[in-house]
Amino acid sequence: MADKEIRLTRVLFVCLGNICRSPMAEGIFRQMVHQSGLDARIETDSCGVGDYHVGEPPDPRAMREAQQRDVDITELRGRVVRRDDFDRFDYILCMDGDNLEALQKMAPDSGQAHVGLLMDFASEDTGTEIGDPYFGNTDNFGRVADQITAGCQGLIERLKRGEASD
Ligand code: 4NP
């Protein structure tokens, strides 16, 4: 029997610096993808709308919070969003309204991606935006990770029901 063509769904998580929220989202979502047996079907990446931390590893507080959830994000490195991301990715999901405004400004007319807020996918009422934890204390990272988990849970359920199914 011929192999069935696998349709790859590409998801890009976006925040401001790509060292706190979006790398946590990338790691947490990738773990869910793996646990759902969908590694071959869903590709995950993250980036920032700002270029302050290009090439840097995630913030130590983000790495620690992820590690507490058995998610290793130590190998991730910051990068900035590119115009071709809007053609390469199916979902470009950001953390707050400022990120969204920046993305909408740079989105080319030809872009095929769904550009929106990650929290729009959350089924629980855990807020519409994921606030920047960078200037806050370590506790903020736990709250951010909980919100990200809720958003990613909704996203993976949606993909399992639709785009990522046979
Ligand atoms: P992130 O957090 O957008 O969640 O990665 C930030 C990291 C760094 C800065 C701001 C937000 N910064 O201004 O350097």
Which of 15, 20, 47, 152 does the annotation list as catalytic? 15
Q: Which residue has the tokens 């709308």?
A: 49
Q: Report the C-alpha gap between 128 and 97 in whole angstroms.
A: 9
pLDDT in tens, 94-130: 999 999 999 999 999 888 899 999 999 998 777 799 9
CA of 70 from ligand 1 middle (Å) equals: 23
**Ligand 1 pocket test, candidate residues 13, 14, 15, most atoms within 8 A of CB:** 15
pLDDT in tens, 21-38: 999 999 999 999 999 999
CA of 116 from ligand 1 middle (Å) equals: 19
Q: Which domains does the chain have, with CATH numbers?
A: 9-160 (3.40.50.2300)
Spatial CA neighbour of 28 closest among 95, 97, 128, 113:
95
Active site includes 139? no
Spatial CA neighbour of 107 closest among 74, 82, 127:
82
Question: The pTM is what?
Answer: 0.94
Spatial CA neighbour of 93 closest among 47, 39, 153, 28:
47
Q: C-alpha angle with apex 135: 131 to 139, nearest 5 degrees?
A: 70
Active site includes 64? no
Q: Average pLDDT of 3-18?
A: 87
Ligand 1, CB within 6 Å, residue ranges: 15-21, 48, 52, 132, 134
- What SS3 state is found at 103? helix
